[in-house]
Structure 1
Amino acid sequence: MALEQSTRALVIGGCGFVGKHLVQQLLAAGHPVRVFDLQPYPDPQVESVVGDLRKAEQVLQACHDVGTVFLCAAAVDWGWGNAQLLHDVNVLGPQHVVAACQATGVAQLIYTSSVDVVFEGKPIRAGDEQLPYPKQHLDIYGATKTAGERLVLAANGQAGLATSALRLGGVYGPGDSHRLPSLVNLGKRGPIPRLGNGSARFSHIYVENAAHGHILAAQRLTADGAMGGQAYFLVDPNPDNFFLFLKPIVEALGLRMAKRHVPFGLMHFLAWPSEFWYRTTRSKTRPSLTRYTVTSTCVDFWFTGAKAANDFGYQPLVDLAEARQRTIAWAKREFNLGMK
């Protein structure tokens, strides 16, 4: 059964970046919402359940009396950090959620996936859902997200559960705790390096558009329909070079992009010792330079999103100009920059 207004939705990871925006849009549409997260959800309109995705019994309890589950929670690390944590959250977590949904009669499970599930370092231009999973990923994150996605999609039609996965492009916007903060930290030390020759394009998606896409998908998903067991690339149109795309945001914060480009080969070579240091010292500070971060911004890495438009009518809720303005306004407050 597709998502209806009376359907109680469970957002696992509802305190996270995409999850928080999804919760707010569900509330605005009149849906009763439950959030399952490591921390309590601050809005009293939401039924907040504090728990750990790695604990099967806690996930099971959270799934009772729910029609639709959105699995937004993930451990993120674009390098070779805590492999055990990434596996436990991104692989065992979906396993627990699938089992809980089947045991409690949940009708729908929508998994927040990533374009990284098909990325092995080779250029992708106008990528679509015909792309295979790679034999080797550049990082543990991509490998574990792939494993989680496959688990969810394979469960479609079992015990009445309909499943689908949304492969998000690079998410940006208010609440970002990864990409923009990393650039801001670099920018505080000097001009932000521009990797590659500037020709590579990258698919982004604004966070409110990502949340909107989840709701549109849930409104159409049934186990025996076209979407059941399917994965979709969810991206905004008009991909651009990673650094050119973010340049207006960075400059509005009073930071600068470097004028010259740093060759891909040099940065890829330097990423090896950066990753090695991170892995051997087990530093809590993620390296800004890894083979993934270098390669994903220096080779074409973009997708059409046509299947999502065709199957559940995805179109951006917020256009690019407005998305940038909202991101800039939030970032000025968040990082106390560009406030003159």
Structure 2
Amino acid sequence: MSASLNIVILGGSGFIGRHLSNRLLRSGHSVKVYGREAFKSPQVLSERVCGCDLLIMLAGANVGQRWTKAHKQALWDSRIQTNQMLQSALQLCEHPPQRIFSASAIGIYPESDCTHPVDESCEQVGDNVLGQLGADWEVASRALQPKPVIFRFGVVLGLDGGALPKMLPAFKLGLGGPVAGGHQCFSWIHIEDLVNAFEFALAHPQMEGVYNVTSPNPVSNREFGQVLASTLQRPFWLPLPEWQLKLMFGEGAQVLTHSAAVLPTRLEQSGFRFQYPQVSAALQNLLKPA
């Protein structure tokens, strides 16, 4: 890790990309971040990625909003078509990237409750839109050369993006409560641990295949909400039923009702240690007074 590397992040202008690029820059690496403009053509994309030491592929439309017909198509296009174009671009490279890290998500797994978690050994795919999206996404990622390390993200917790800022206004007003009954399992990861996992993989070139990037301690939606309310010193009482979620998000409500108990077995077996393995410590860190 002492040598400075040339790193390219595609789809890196969002929440996760900002944190990754800032950390890698502080670690002394050269980092170039590109958004949609890099995907004008395979030739343009090739000019951006050829010759780098590490390519990080994060491109993908946000699942956490109302799923119109157009947005559902964008969920697929922003993952599948971008990877297909990247595959073509890499074939044009005289000097392709030495390594590739690709994003995926734990929605690929079948639903599971907190007492029956799954890990990377689970080869089943969820029988829903999230499962099919994840499966198609990873097929497109695996076609890349060199073969990427695939990181399946849980719900990423941070203050400047992701799910937490959307929850905070209601909870700060004392209007927090269980979502759709609150029994569904919630697999999460502190943004600092996610970034740490990328740096860990960068320092361990022997890592390959799929890694779950989630805390080793998933919790129910109810428990997460109770800890969040307690951290903010607010009550936890107002339930948000599933029918209201469907009014707000349509088919996209399944992002909030999907029960995913996922463990980072391969990451821990590789020697990675979490800075925030418990949700209480993670939320206290994020929400402590400045």
**1:286-325 deviation digits (Å, cap 9, x = unpaired):** x7xx13312x2xx4x21221111223x2221345455323
State yes or no: 1:126 paired with 2:130: no
Cα distance, 1:138–1:192 mapped onto 2, change above 3 Å: farther
Q: How far is the alpha carbon of 1:172 from its aligned partner? A: 0.2
Q: How is 1:245-256 mapped onto 2 (pairs within 5 angstroms)? A: 245-253=224-232, 256=235
Q: Contact 1:26–1:33 (CA<8 Å) still a contact in 2?
A: yes
Rounded to whole Å, the distance in 2 between the matches of 1:233 and 1:186 is 30
Separation in 1, partners of 2:38, 2:151: 22
Of residues 272, 281, 288, the one that matches 1:314 is: 272
> Per-residue displacement from partner, 1:220-258 (whole Å, max 9, x unpaired)?
34xxx5x43x11111112222234224444455565421
2:63 and 2:255 in contact (8 A); partners too: no
Deviations 1:187-232 (A, max 9, x none): 46761231355554322110111011112223334xxx5x43x111
- Percent identity reads 19
Structure 2 match to 1:305: 264
CA contact (8 A) 1:174 1:207 kept: no
SS in 2 for 1:110: strand
8 A contact 1:152–1:164 mirrored in 2: no
Correspondence for 2:135 among 136, 146, 170: 146
Partner of 1:93: 82
Query: Alignment partner of 1:315: what SS?
Result: coil
Structure 2 alignment gaps of length 5 or more: none
Residue 6 to residue 247, structure 1, CA distance change in 2 (3 Å): same
Moved more, 206-215 or 267-276: 267-276
The amino acid across from 2:81 in the alignment is L
State which of 248, 258, 283 in structure 2 corresponds to 1:324.
283
Residues 1-340 of structure 1 aligned to structure 2 (within 5 Å): 5-37=3-35, 51-53=37-39, 55-78=41-64, 80-81=67-68, 82-104=71-93, 105-119=96-110, 121=111, 123=113, 125-134=116-125, 136-139=127-130, 142-155=131-144, 158=145, 161-176=146-161, 178-187=162-171, 191-195=175-179, 198-221=182-205, 227-228=207-208, 230-253=209-232, 256-258=235-237, 267-276=241-250, 290-294=253-257, 296=258, 299=259, 301-311=260-270, 313-318=271-276, 320=278, 323-329=282-288
After superposition, the C-alpha distances for 1:102-140 in whole angstroms (9 at most, x for unaligned) are: 432111111111101124x4547221112234363245x
> How many residues align structurally?
283
CA 1:199/1:274 → structure 2, altered by over 3 Å: closer, same or farther? closer
TM-score when normalising by structure 2: 0.82
Aligned residues of 1:213 and 1:234 also touching (Cα < 8 A): yes
Q: Give the secondary-structure state (helix, strand or coil) at the position aligned to 2:210.
A: strand
**Equivalents in 2 of 1:273, 1:169: separation in Å?**
25
TM-score if structure 1 supplies the norm length? 0.71
1:76: Cα distance to partner?
Answer: 1.3
Partner AA of 1:150 in structure 2? V
Query: Structure 1: which 5+ runs fail to align?
Result: 39-50, 280-286, 334-340
Relative to structure 1, is the Cα distance of residues 66 and 245 closer, same or farther in structure 2, using a 3 angstrom cutoff?
Answer: same
Q: Distance in 1 between matches of 2:163 and 2:85?
A: 29
